[in-house]
Chain A
Amino acid sequence: MAGPMPFETGAELPPLEIEPLTRTTLALYCGASGDYHPLHVDTDWVKANTPLSDVIGHGMLTMAWLGRLITGNFRTEQISRMATRFVAPSRVGDRITCRGVVVSVDRTERGSAIGFELVAETAEGKTLATGSATIEIEHTTEEAPAA
């Protein structure tokens, strides 16, 4: 039989505070992700081609920060699933916090599956993304070696 449940519904991960968003970070993410759309990096282009007055951050960068919330607490291979709904784009200067709360704890063949609800929001309380993650925890082996 599996051991005791390591998490309880309602338990919160320590919030992850992201450094205020800079153009340098957006430029780095453009190069690293391969998504170098000018909407994320070129203010001149944004002003000339959209109703916006400045660049907006990548939704996938917000999702990557939510991923950091998880990798800061678990091994990457324990994350079996992550899902995100993009609600609003990030802006330069945003101070963003990522939060996660346990919403389900289910027994599996080898241990537990912990379900988290995730949210990324600005210091002003604007939600940028909501999501969920499932973490698999094996009870028999503490730290299973990677494949």
Chain B
Amino acid sequence: MTQLLNRFTYLERLVHWLVGVTFVILLLTGAAFSYPSLFWLTALVGGGAAARVLHPWIGVVFGVGIVFMLALWIRDMFLDDQDWRWLGAVRDYAAHRHDEVPPAGKYNAGQKVFFWAQGLLAIVFVATGVFLWMPDRFSSSLLSISRLLHYAAALGGGLLLIVHVYLGTVAYPGTARGMIDGKVTRRWAAMHHPRWDEDQSRL
């Protein structure tokens, strides 16, 4: 029988999907505000006026989710020496040359960088988002710059999301299950996160 490891707790999965689902809705409604040809996407939340009202509130939920996410995972996300070597071998990782890649711990360096990048972008989203939410309290120049930064952050976050979903589902089968019922197989762990796998054996 396939041996399973517990990778993510219920709370971790809940927070992940809270952030994930809100982020996708925010990305779609934000795309509607940014591209007239995508304005119809506002229909997903009940039309343009509803999208204008809901986007900031969904952003609040997203922001709260990110805070929980930081609290849950920040300890595991600092890069160690092995991680820097992993980043040096990122081309081998991308080309699936598995034996050339320095062994990763519970999170590989790519995941850690993803975590910090999304954390940083979240700060930009929330800070500029607050200004755009209540525009009558702030100056035009601040709001114009906020629109630019809010869009730039969304573009960055959107690109990261594409990579995140692609790697987690299509490129590396067995990964997504960790975020569904929280479990991964022993062999999956040995292949993708050998150092974490060893720690688990010692327990």
**Do the two chains belong together in a single complex?**
no
Give B residues with C-beta under 8 Å from A.
none
